[in-house]
């Protein structure tokens, strides 16, 4: 039997499942943790979701997601701040200390990426005290550069660490998601830096499939189906001192269309083969 004690199902991987189904699937598969998305929590009801996960004996590895902090108009900025505060409260209620932030892309019609990044820093400064008061760490997730315009204009782990630098590591951390950062020539250096600074809040694994899907969001794959060297990256994360949960988060239409229990079985096998030996 493989050691699954650090494995977590991110509910994006089983998109067709409700939160109740995902929780039941994890219990049946012996997966001890779950990383829910907010839409699944909202469907179940926040208090009910927290009770359901707690009663099943599962950990909540993280909550996905807050962010989208790049609005240029005051109304949009206020709305983003309120939504992120709601996400903080949801994370606290669910019993996780980690709230993922996908920071957002350019405002409509905008081309000034420097100004947009500054707005992220400004909104982060407004949100950190509220999150800290609730015991929640904001987890900055750099996304692959192909998403810079519309989803996350933070593309490298180094950029995320620079954005986190003004704050304690307990208040702002970073995520290492293999799909998004595998290509970065500075990845080893920046993972080591994140470890020294105590900022690695999550390690997410999935593969980078080729050819790129028509919808680039759906190019994630099961570990072993794409081009990522999990042994090397996982070793870097291990050497940086990270011992927390390892989430599998996959956006892939074929996987979404498959039987969820079969997806979890494959996920366990690939984790045991490709990730666990190096973690």
Q: How far apart are CA 66 and CA 236, in angstroms?
A: 27
Per-residue pLDDT at 1: 66
Of the chain, the end-to-end C-alpha distance in Å amounts to 16
Pairwise CA distance, residues 174 & 20, whole Å? 28
Q: Which fold has domain 7-278?
A: TIM Barrel (3.20.20)
pLDDT tens digits along 25-34: 999 999 999 9
Q: Are 239 and 195 in contact (CB under 8 A)?
A: yes
Express each pLDDT in 216-273 by its tens digit. Answer: 999 999 999 999 999 999 999 999 999 999 999 999 999 999 999 999 999 999 999 9
* Helix, coil or strand: residue 275: helix
Q: What mean pLDDT comes out for the span 194-207?
A: 98
Give the span between the Cα atoms of 214 and 205, in whole angstroms: 22
Chain-centroid distance of CA 129 in Å reads 21
> What pLDDT was estimated at residue 116?
98
pLDDT in tens, 8-64: 999 999 999 999 999 999 999 999 999 999 999 999 999 999 999 999 999 999 999
Q: What average pLDDT score do residues 194-217 get?
A: 97
pLDDT at 204 over 90: yes
Q: What is the pLDDT of residues 70-116, one digit of tens each?
A: 999 999 999 999 999 999 999 999 999 999 999 999 999 999 999 99
Lay out the sheet containing 137-140: strands in order across: 59-60, 33-35, 7-10, 246-248, 200-205, 172-177, 137-140, 98-102, 63-67
* Cβ density class 7-17: b for 16+ within 10 Å, e for less: bbbbbbbbbeb
Listed residue (8, 91, 100) closest to 50, CA to CA: 91
In this prediction, residues 128-139 reach a mean pLDDT of 98
Q: Report the distance separating Cα 67 and Cα 102, nearest Å.
A: 5
Enter the pTM of the model: 0.97
Contacts with 138 (C-beta within 8 Å, 6 or more apart), sequence order: 66, 99, 101, 124, 127, 128, 131, 171, 172, 173
Q: What is the mean pLDDT of the chain?
A: 98
Question: Looking up tokens 């996959």, which residue turns up?
Answer: 250
Please give the share of the chain, as a percent, with pLDDT higher than 90.
Answer: 99
Query: 222, 267 in Cβ contact below 8 A?
Result: yes
């Amino acid at each position: 039997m493989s050691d699954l004690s650090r494995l977590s199902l991110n509910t994006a991987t089983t998109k067709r499942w409700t939160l109740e189904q995902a929780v039941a699937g994890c219990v049946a598969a012996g997966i001890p943790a779950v990383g829910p998305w907010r839409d699944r929590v909202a469907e179940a009801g926040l208090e009910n979701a927290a009770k359901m996960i707690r009663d099943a004996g599962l950990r909540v590895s993280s909550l996905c997601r807050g962010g989208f902090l790049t609005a240029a108009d005051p109304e949009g900025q206020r709305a983003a701040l309120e939504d992120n505060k709601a996400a903080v409260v949801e994370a606290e209620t669910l019993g996780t200390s980690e709230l993922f932030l996908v920071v957002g892309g350019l405002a409509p019609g905008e081309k000034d990426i420097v100004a947009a990044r500054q707005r992220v820093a400004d909104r982060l400064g407004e949100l950190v005290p509220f999150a800290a008061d609730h015991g929640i760490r904001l987890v900055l997730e750099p996304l692959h550069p192909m998403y810079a315009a519309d989803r996350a204009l933070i593309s490298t782990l180094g950029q995320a660490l620079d954005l986190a630098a003004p704050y304690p590591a307990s208040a702002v951390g970073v995520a290492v998601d293999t799909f998004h950062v595998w290509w970065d020539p500075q990845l080893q250096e920046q993972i080591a830096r994140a470890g020294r600074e105590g900022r690695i809040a999550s390690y997410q694994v999935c593969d980078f499939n080729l050819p790129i899907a028509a919808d680039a969001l759906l190019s994630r794959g099961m570990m072993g189906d794409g081009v990522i060297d999990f042994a090397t990256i996982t070793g870097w994360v291990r050497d940086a001192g990270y011992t927390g949960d390892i989430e599998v988060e996959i956006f892939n239409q074929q996987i979404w269309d498959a039987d969820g229990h079969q997806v979890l079985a494959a996920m366990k096998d690939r984790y045991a083969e490709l990730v666990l030996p190096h973690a």
